[in-house]
Amino acid sequence: MAAFPEIEKIRYEGPESKNPLAFKWYNEDEVVEGLTMKDHMRFSVVYWHTFRGNGSDPFGAPTMVRPWEDGTDSVENAQNRARVAFEFIEKLGAPYYAFHDRDVAPEGATLAESNRNFDAVVQVLKEEQERTGIKLLWGTANMFSNPRFMHGASTTCNADVYAYAAAQVKKCLEVTKELGGENYVFWGGREGYQNLFNTDLKREIDNLGRFFHMAVDYADKIGFKGTFLIEPKPKEPTKHQYDSDAAACINFLRAYELTDRFKLNIETNHATLAGHTMMHELDYAGMQHLLGSIDANTGDLLLGWDTDQFPTNVYLTTEIMLTLLKYGGVAPGGVNFDAKVRRESFEPIDLFHAHIGGMDAFARGLKIAAAIRADGALADIVKDRYESWDTGIGAEIESGNHNFESLESYMLEKGEASPNKSGRQELIENLINTYL
Ligand code: XUL
Ligand code: CO
């Protein structure tokens, strides 16, 4: 029986449409800069918020009305939920989804039972992927919810818990491969610390590096070719997360010689928690060829935590798409809606409104970014700003032909640096507004 019988496939009706269950901007076959919108964004629906989020918060009970749930934690209920998830994703028209192992199947009393439960649901996921053509963007293991992970998983002080985590990732890699997953994500849920007095920082981070090498070795062994992605986040749940931002992750990846297999999955609300903008994090990862995928959402300006709201701000999506286009697109990553409806938006139809809004906001961002690039005015301003590096002393420095002594001679002779040019920030901000 259909879970959303009253909802037809969501279609593109154009900006004039008043139909809340239609796309105004996301037209999957429309070609922008030589690629369809579908291929530019590679939208993905997350299993955890969309199909497991129940609306509970630290102050109150679940609010979500999900008529397909039978109220049990059984495998049968999980299998039925998987069919519902695919009905939703198919009607929405997103090409991808992403999951944690424990979102899709109930945890058992032992690791072996958990693996059996997982396999039983994976069978349904596989059938549904084949039926609909929807693909797995990435899999990941939840190594933060179960109490055993209170001190972390791959950075825990408890070696047995580390071994458990390794076994869990092994299984999740096998499943991700079986389902054709294109990436595999590590978000370091409890990989961090609350207090440095009880923490052996070096030991924990060395063990984290060792863990990732074991993951790469096992991927090679089973022939999993997907990209590994680390998802930076500075805090929550721990006070200090080891993967705190793009720069910290990249430093870690280089120190432990993992940059050939790992990239980053950058999330908007994590960037802002780190005191950065999403654009900063994307550009920082992109300039080092380590931009792998994005978790699309937004925080709330007035709240200091990870609210994971759906992104609707076109200025934000323009910045994101501008940066993704600059670095050659997001594939084989995607735009993964790691976002949840508010607990007051408890009806199933709110899930459609949320995703349609997010997809439309990104489609607009893509079109605006492409217009900015086609126009070239912004690029001209940047080119002009760095003009001193294109010829003369700048070009000589960049070709490696100078040292402190030769630069001193140059400046002693010249006496004073050439005058600066205006940064033109206000002009640029006005210019961006003309495309919106
Ligand atoms: C947590 C978060 C996770 C990861 C996957 O803030 O973003 O859902 O995306 O573990
Ligand atoms: Co995320």
Average pLDDT of the chain is 98
Q: How confident is the model at residue 185 (pLDDT cuts 50, 70, 90)?
A: very high
341 within 8 A of 354, measured Cβ to Cβ: yes
Over residues 13-21, mean pLDDT: 98
State percent of the chain over pLDDT 90. Answer: 100
pLDDT in tens, 31-56: 999 999 999 999 999 999 999 999 99
User: How remote is the CA of residue 74 from the centroid of ligand 2, in Å?
Assistant: 26
Tell whether ligand 1 has an atom less than 6 A from the beta carbon of residue 281: no
Q: Ligand 1, atom 2: nearest CA belongs to which residue? A: 187
Over residues 222-248, mean pLDDT: 98
Mutate which of 137, 244, 295, 297 for ligand 1 pocket (most atoms within 8 A of beta carbon) = 295
Mutate which of 52, 99, 231, 243 for ligand 1 pocket (most atoms within 8 A of beta carbon) = 231
pLDDT at 188 over 80: yes
313 Cβ contact list (under 8 Å, min separation 6): 298, 361
Over residues 189-203, mean pLDDT: 98
106 within 8 A of 78, measured Cβ to Cβ: yes
pLDDT at 186 over 90: yes
Tell whether ligand 1 has an atom less than 6 A from the beta carbon of residue 87: no
User: How remote is the CA of residue 338 from the centroid of ligand 2, in Å?
Assistant: 5
| Ligand 1 atom nearest to CA at 100 | 10
pLDDT in tens, 143-174: 999 999 999 999 999 999 999 999 999 999 99
Task: Give the bridge partners for 335, in sequence order.
Answer: 43, 294
63 Cβ contact list (under 8 Å, min separation 6): 54, 55, 56, 343, 344, 346
Tell whether ligand 1 has an atom less than 6 A from the beta carbon of residue 338: yes
What's 124-186 look like in SS3?
HHHHHHHHHCCEEEEEECCCCCCHHHCCCCCCCCCHHHHHHHHHHHHHHHHHHHHCCCCEEEE
Q: How confident is the model at residue 122 (pLDDT cuts 50, 70, 90)?
A: very high
Q: Ligand 1, atom 5: nearest CA belongs to which residue? A: 187
pLDDT at 1 over 90: no
Q: How many helices (H) and strands (E) does the chain have?
A: 16, 14
User: How remote is the CA of residue 420 from the centroid of ligand 1, in Å?
Assistant: 44
Tell whether ligand 1 has an atom less than 6 A from the beta carbon of residue 280: no
pLDDT at 219 over 80: yes
pLDDT in tens, 66-82: 999 999 999 999 999 99
User: How remote is the CA of residue 333 from the centroid of ligand 2, in Å?
Assistant: 13
Residues identified as active-site: 100, 103
Mutate which of 97, 102, 229, 338 for ligand 1 pocket (most atoms within 8 A of beta carbon) = 338
pLDDT at 178 over 80: yes
User: How remote is the CA of residue 269 from the centroid of ligand 2, in Å?
Assistant: 9
pLDDT in tens, 262-273: 999 999 999 999
Task: Determine the pLDDT at residue 407.
Answer: 98
Side-chain half-sphere CA neighbours of 380 within 13 A: 7
Segment (H or E) for 281: helix 278-287
- Encoded tokens for 184: 């595999």
Tell whether ligand 1 has an atom less than 6 A from the beta carbon of residue 231: yes
State percent of the chain over pLDDT 70. Answer: 100
pLDDT at 335 over 80: yes
pTM exceeds 0.95, yes or no: yes
Distance in angstroms (rounded) separating the CA atoms of residues 241 and 335: 23
